[in-house]
Structure formats: structure tokens, C-alpha cells
Structure 1
Amino acid sequence: MTRLPSLAAGLLALAPLLPIAATGQGAPPPTNAPSPAETNPLPTTTVPDTSRSGPDPAAPAPQQVPIPRPAQSGAAPSLTPPPSTLPTLVPNPGEANDVDEVTLPAKPVAILAGETKWEEARANLRASYKTIGETLAKLGLKPAGRPIALFTKTEDDGFQYEAMIPIEAAPAQAGETNGVKFGSSPSGKALRFKHSGTYEEIDGTYETLIAYLDAKEIAVQDRFLEEYVTDLGEGTDDKLDINIYALPK
């Protein structure tokens, strides 16, 4: 992953205005394959009348019921994670490769700080959210929003971050458990850039972000948020929706 060093380099170039900153389907069965009615006939309650050569004209026509055809076992799995019912920070969705001016609400969140190398970013972020989720379960708390990552410092070989999961309210005794503490998510005016694609393709969205900030001469804080509308899966081909928030000064 190189997007964060690219972002930092782009923001440095703006000084002094900017601070450093498909679901697979199985093929239908062959036309000469026997139907379920032929291979598993329904039982009859009367002996059929063989004296007639044709159907009884007075008998009602049988109801035609469509037969579900499950996908074949060799069908390709979906590469798009299922949608989540948890809300995002801003209710109305954004458009891919577009910029929205939004206002972020302050949300109570469970926080786990960490650092990672670029090539290990996805795995370490997933591990952080897993730890937060397990801690919330032990405390009897439930997630109330999509996972967030606040990137606090970026370097050539990696970055520091605070992984967050929104909750309804912080516990009364808000101590630290398994490294997880409680606080509030960043709030206020923000610029939202929506990324739709694989995690590895997010560099292009950051290039759009840098170009937009450059053209508009917008000074931003040297930190930003990523909100994972779809879960960070293990597959590199997973199609993801990620909201990127730049926080103006």
C-alpha cells in the first residue's frame, strides 16, 4: 500500500496552503435432463384409470410451479461483501470518485491504537477490529456504526492509526481493557471522498483527493479518516466501499 505516503507527498507540495499531512450463477441443466417430477413422482391416492388414452377434460389443469435451480457447486463465489445494517457517520451515501462537504457527528467509540507496515495494513486493521469486537462483547456492548480508522502518522514504510468502532454510549467505568479505551470520533466539517473498488486500488482515490485539495487550495489537518462501509475481507479481489474523510483546518 502506498496511498498514505502519496497523500503526504501531495499535501507537502501544497505548502504553505496545506500542512503535511458479482455473484456467480450455475449453468442451467441440459434440456434432456429428467425433471424432479419424473425422478421423484408424487404419490397417488387412487388407482389411475388406464382405459382412457388422454387426459380427463373435466379435470383441472395442474398448477405450474417453477422449480428452483440451485447454482452448481463449481460456481464462482461472490466477490462483493454483503451490505451491513450498521449506519455510517453520514447517513446519505456519496458517489464514487466525487467529493461531498459533510459534517461529522461526534460518536462515542471504542479505540485501539496500533501501527503497521504498508503491506500488512489490511491484516492488522482487521485484527484490531476483532480485538475491539471481542472486548465489546465481554462488556455487553454492541457496535453502533461502521469501523473507522484514524491515521495519525504516516511514514515511508508504514503508519500509525487508531482503529475505532462506534457504540451507543461508553460504559460507566470506562477503563482500558485489552488495550481498548473509549472516547469520541473526530467531528466537524469534512470532505468525503468515496472509494469503490479493491483495497489495493484506493491509491487512485487519494490522487483525486490531492488534486481536489490542490485545485481548491484547501488547508487540511495532518490526519484523516477511513470508514469501511463494507468489511475488510481477506481477498485482494473483494470489492469494497470506503469513505475517506479529509478534515479541513
Structure 2
Amino acid sequence: MIGFRRLALAALIPAAALSLGLPEVVAQSPSPAPAASTSPPSTSPSLTNPAPAPSASPSPAASASPAPAATPSPAPSPAASASPTPTNSPSPAASASPGPATPAATPAPVQTADPFGLETSLEAKKVVMVKGTANWDSAFDTLIDAFKALNTLLDKQGIKHAGNAMIVYTSTDDTGFTFLAEIPVEQDPKNLSKDMSIGKSPEGKVLKFVHRGSYDNMDNTYEAITNHLDDKRLEAKDTFIEEYLTDPLKTAEDKLVINVFVPLK
């Protein structure tokens, strides 16, 4: 596999940066104004209808003679008939009230992607490490063998991991690379092989990038990292670190989650 990572260290040397503008995202919110404007006209016809009814009824009552006592009895009946009409008038206003409540729904928050190029700092940890050399064509298998050797050593001595496994790339070229496979520990293991040692993991100011997927597909991630450094006019050191958030010995290769740390000068 002739991949981008074969020249990754050389590509990390910054070139002329391109200034890219980020488009602004303008959130749109629905306006409830049109729903409220329909409520006032509905009340006006209901209030004008009851007015003619009482005005016609008193006129015959006034022309009749006041002596008979039966004449006042029909007079209150139109007044009573007019009373239920005003009680019905508030109902249109009440029916319009639920209208403005509909635009209260807010859009669900959009989930953001993994941070890319996050500036952070690494703290040195005690690690047991093994040196190795790999060809690009069998790179992942070589890294897996290095992790297996370290795990076998720790399991025999009952020493637990104190952090995630890491790969520190120390050099790279067209044919392959050299690396350190490291596992953080809290106690010193014994009976180390000639390629193993105890030391400290890298420390200092770095940029953090996240890769999800197989090891072979990391070329795209490293190309994006190089473009990011160029755009930001940042100068990186001649090494980079991979931290395996998922156990590479137990996780399917296409399900790997790896933090890539790029130390800055």
C-alpha cells in the first residue's frame, strides 16, 4: 500500500497556508405573528348581532297602556333572551388562544463531529515499551504483534494497564517506519526482552485529531491533518502519536477509534 502516511513526517513541514472562510450558519425560527392576527376580527360580528334584538322589543312595550300588570311580563323576556348571547361572545376569543402556542416547538440540537485540531497538552506517563520496525504493506499486523508481546509480559506478572495503548512513530520513509509501542503502567515489570524497556510517554503541547475506522484508511486522516497545519500556519515536530481508545486486540479493525496527537514546535 503506497499511502500518504509514508511521507507523513515530510508532509508535516508547513507550506504556504490557504485562508479558508467558514460559512456561518444562521438559525431560522418560526414566527407566531400571523396566527395571532386572525383572533380580533372573529369577535366583532358576534358583538353586533345581539344589539338589534333588544332595541325592537321595548318599542311595543312602551306603546301599550301602563294600567295592566301583564304588560311588564313580556318586557323582561326579550331582555332575558339577549343575556345568553353576550355569554357566548367570549368563546371565539377563547378558541383563538391555543393558536399562538403551536410555534413553541424548538428544533433538536445538531450533534457535532469529533473535534479536529483541538489544542491540548500531554502529560508524561510511565510506560513499558517495545521498539519495532514495520513495512507499510504489513504495518497493522506488526503493530498488533508488538501489543501482543507487551500484553503477554504484563499478564504473566499480573500488571494492569494504567492507560490506553500508544504507538509513537519515530521515523518514516517510502518503505516503512520505526516505532515505539507503549502501554502505561503503574509498576515496573520484570524480565524484559532486549527490545523492551521502561520509560516515559511523550509530553507537551499537541494538536488532537480523531480517526474512526480501519488503520488502512488513516491516510485520509493524515492528509487532512497536513492540510489543517498548512491552513493554520503551524509547524509540527518530526513525530506523531496514536492513542488507541479501543483495544486493537479485541476490536474489529473497521471499528477502531484512535486519537492522533501531533506535537508542535
TM-score after normalising by structure 2: 0.58
Q: Indicate conservation of the 8 Å contact 1:122/1:232, yes or no.
A: no
**Alignment map for 1:41-60 (pairs within 5 Å):** none
- Give unmatched runs, 5+ long, in structure 1: 16-93
**Number of the residue aligned with 1:5:** 6
Q: Say if 1:155 and 1:99 are closer, same or farther in 2 by CA, change over 3 A.
A: same
Rg (Cα) greater in structure: 2
1:168 CA displacement:
1.7
For the aligned residue pairs, the C-alpha RMSD in angstroms reads 2.5
- In structure 2, the partner of 1:201 is 217
Task: Specify the code of the residue in structure 1 equivalent to 2:158.
Answer: G
How has the CA–CA distance of structure 1 residues 95 and 136 changed in structure 2, closer, same or farther, with 3 Å as cutoff? Answer: farther
Establish whether residue 131 from structure 1 lines up as the match of residue 149 from structure 2: yes
C-alpha distance in structure 1 between counterparts of 2:201 and 2:191, whole Å: 17
DSSP-derived class of the 2:254 partner: coil
Structure 1 counterpart of 2:169: 151
Measure how far apart 1:104 and its partner are: 0.6
Q: CA deviation at 1:203?
A: 1.0
Q: Which moved more, 1:144-153 or 1:227-236?
A: 227-236
Q: Does structure 1 retain, via aligned residues, the 8 Å contact 2:248–2:256?
A: yes
For the pair 1:182 / 2:183, whether they are aligned, the reply is no
Residues 143, 167 of structure 1: 8 Å contact kept: yes
Q: CA separation of 1:235/1:141 partners in 2, compared to 1, >3 Å: closer, same or farther? A: closer
% identical aligned pairs: 36
Of 217, 226, 230, the residue aligned with 1:210 is 226
Give the counterpart letter for 1:204 in structure 2. N
- The answer to whether the Cα contact below 8 Å between 2:211 and 2:260 also exists between their aligned partners in 1 is yes
- CA distance in 2 between counterparts of 1:101 and 1:158 reads 29
Amino acid at match of 2:8: L
1:123–1:248 CA distance, 2 compared to 1 (3 A): same
Q: CA deviation at 1:169?
A: 3.3
Moved more, 109-118 or 215-224: 215-224
Change beyond 3 A, Cα 1:13–1:220? closer
Structure 2: segments with no counterpart, 5+ residues: 17-111
> Any residues of structure 2 matched to 1:1-249 within 5 Å, and which?
1=1, 2-12=3-13, 14=15, 95-96=113-114, 98-171=116-189, 176-177=192-193, 179-232=195-248, 238-249=254-265
Q: TM-score, normalised by structure 1?
A: 0.62
Change (3 A) 1:246 1:100: same
Name the structure 2 match of 1:88: none
Query: Residues of 2 paired with 1:95 and 1:181: CA distance?
Result: 37
Distance 1:183 1:95, change over 3 A: farther
Pick closer, same or farther for the CA change 1:99–1:203 going to 2, 3 Å. Answer: same
| 1:212 Cα deviation from its structure 2 partner | 0.9
Shift of 1:232: 2.6
What one-letter code is carried by the residue in structure 2 that aligns with 1:117? N
Give, in whole Å, the separation in 1 of the partners of 2:218 and 2:161: 26
TM-superposition CA deviations, 1:140-172 (whole Å, max 9, x none)? 32111111000001010100000001112335x
Distance 1:215 1:114, change over 3 A: same
More strand by share: 1
